[in-house]
Amino acid sequence: MFSLTSPHSILYDRKLALFMILSICAIVYIPLYNPDFQDAWDNQWIVFNQYTEGGLSPANIKHILFDFYHGQYAPVNQFFYSSIYALNGYDPLLFHFCSLMIHLFNTVLVYLFIEKLLKTCGHDDAICAKTSFLTTFLFSIHPAVVEPVSWLPASKILLYSLFYLLALRAYLDYMSTERTGQYVLAMVYFILSFGAKERAVSLPFAFFIIDYFVKGRQYAFSGKVLLEKVPFLLLAVLSGILAVYSQVYSAGGMLADQNEYPLYQRLMIASYTLAGYFTNIVLPLRINHLYPSPFNYMKPLPVTLYAYTVALIIIAIYLIRNFTVNYVYFGICFFVLHLVMCIHPIPATRVATVADRYAYISAIGVLFPVSYYLAKFKQRTIAIRIIVLYCLLLSVYSYTRTSDWQGNAVLKDSINS
């Protein structure tokens, strides 16, 4: 009889496990095979522009590499669009197919990253296989990651994540072998990741989290290991300056000339936003395309917001006082790190408090520890039933959310419903 816990289970064969995950993911995203462009949702300038239509000529490549377009600098993402356009023009099926392929590649990389992380920590093959499978499966079909896969302008998230995950895997290989080639490779992936999305500047801090939780405090704070981070930190600083400078052309982000809450109130809003992201990952009961801010700028914050702040402070104090090196703390650090730039401690021009596309990488920080402890749960029959039901519900919900992105009219009806 087939069993997920038997030694001959599909989970213990990497190729079969990945084939199963990718097949189910492809089925969940079937609605993308009959898509249209979201012309009213930024496609008109992010996807449809002179750089896309300019092809891969030397002159256009120069413009892609050195121009700030609408206050953004994302040459890797623009090369992605230009390459697809060079194949068959503005073909919505081809554009969406390529986005889905990037998501499938990322799914494989999540599996390899979790597997390598656990093996580096010394876990046996059974825990590595089960945790990698479940984390990856949940990531691949989770409703919170539907937006960057289905909405073309969010391809920056997919591409930055692709090179970001490659960099994490290369760094884990470097930790194990200390081969210079893996270190250089991680740096190259870092540059490419930033070229797709500025949020890649968090990578050196992700390395530190891995150092701390894999090999301990003494290793993470050793002079040699800290010195190894210096080139990455310098690149992060330079990249951050470039990202901020590019926004001069749109007067957005940190350079936004607008009325804003003071810092302490922005931190309160950040606690509300962080809770929203966490809820959407753990219990995605109501995933939306837009999450308009419930706050009116320069008016008193609602009393309910204080409850989020107090709750977050209490949780933080408890975690700090009871700190032990385990995967719950690793997951929390990983989750927060990859959201810190989009939970509004810094002034921004966006009207939304939460945007699901930004949970793409951070979701790993929640799904990984949950999967790890489910894999170790002694009541295996109960755990399997919970997992199967949860994955089934996620798959159906993601299929529905993907269907909502089929053209302007469908999405508009979904928002108004």
Q: Is the pLDDT of residue 417 over 60?
A: no
* The two structure tokens encoding residue 311: 């709750």
Beta bridge partner(s), residue 18: none
> Averaged over 118-138, what is the pLDDT?
92
Mean pLDDT over each residue of the chain, to the nearest integer: 85
| Residue type, position 26, single letter | A
* The two structure tokens encoding residue 378: 């002694």
- Name which residue leads in pLDDT, 322 or 47: 47
pLDDT more than 90, % of the chain = 50
pLDDT tens-digit profile of 180-223? 999 999 999 999 999 999 889 999 999 999 999 998 889 999 99
Q: How many residues does the chain have?
A: 417
- Name which residue leads in pLDDT, 111 or 43: 111
* The two structure tokens encoding residue 110: 């999540």
Q: Is the pLDDT of residue 257 over 70?
A: no
pLDDT more than 70, % of the chain = 86
Helices marked H in 355-404: 359-375, 380-403
Q: Where are the domains of the chain?
A: 28-416
Of 138, 131, 136, nearest to 373 (Cα)? 131
**The dihedral sign for the CA sequence 212, 215, 220, 226:** negative
* In contact, 120 and 172? CB cutoff 8 Å: yes
pLDDT tens-digit profile of 26-40? 999 999 887 778 766
Lowest mean pLDDT among 69-73, 147-151, 168-172: 69-73
- Name which residue leads in pLDDT, 45 or 145: 145
Contacts of 166 (CB under 8 A, 6+ apart): 109, 185, 189
**pTM of the entire structure?**
0.90
109: pLDDT confidence band, cut at 50, 70 and 90? very high
* In contact, 354 and 280? CB cutoff 8 Å: yes
**DSSP letters for 167-236:** HHHHHHHHHHH--HHHHHHHHHHHHHHHHH-GGGGGHHHHHHHHHHHHH-HHHHTSHHHHHHHHHHHHHH
> Helices H, strands E: what count in the chain?
19, 0
Task: Provide the 8-state DSSP code for 289.
Answer: S
Max CA-CA distance within the chain? 65
pLDDT tens-digit profile of 289-298? 777 776 666 6
Helices 125-141 and 380-403 sit at what angle, rounded to 10 degrees?
Answer: 30
**What pLDDT shows up at residue 278?**
92
pLDDT tens-digit profile of 334-382? 999 999 888 765 555 455 678 889 999 999 999 999 999 888 887 777 7
At which residue do the structure tokens 């500047």 appear?
Answer: 201
Question: Residue 417, exposed/middle/buried by CB under 10 A (0-12, 13-18, 19+)?
Answer: exposed
**What pLDDT shows up at residue 18?**
95
Of 382, 408, 415, 327, nearest to 39 (Cα)? 408
**What pLDDT shows up at residue 410?**
54
239: pLDDT confidence band, cut at 50, 70 and 90? confident
**What pLDDT shows up at residue 1?**
35
* In contact, 80 and 197? CB cutoff 8 Å: no
283 sits in the region (left: phi over 0; alpha: psi -120 to 50; else beta) called beta
**What pLDDT shows up at residue 116?**
95
**What pLDDT shows up at residue 346?**
57
Q: Is the pLDDT of residue 316 over 80?
A: yes
**What pLDDT shows up at residue 241?**
84
Distance, CA of 146 to CA of 143 (rounded, Å):
5
**What pLDDT shows up at residue 409?**
55
**What pLDDT shows up at residue 8?**
47
* In contact, 339 and 274? CB cutoff 8 Å: yes
167: pLDDT confidence band, cut at 50, 70 and 90? very high
* In contact, 197 and 74? CB cutoff 8 Å: yes
408: pLDDT confidence band, cut at 50, 70 and 90? low
| Residue type, position 373, single letter | Y
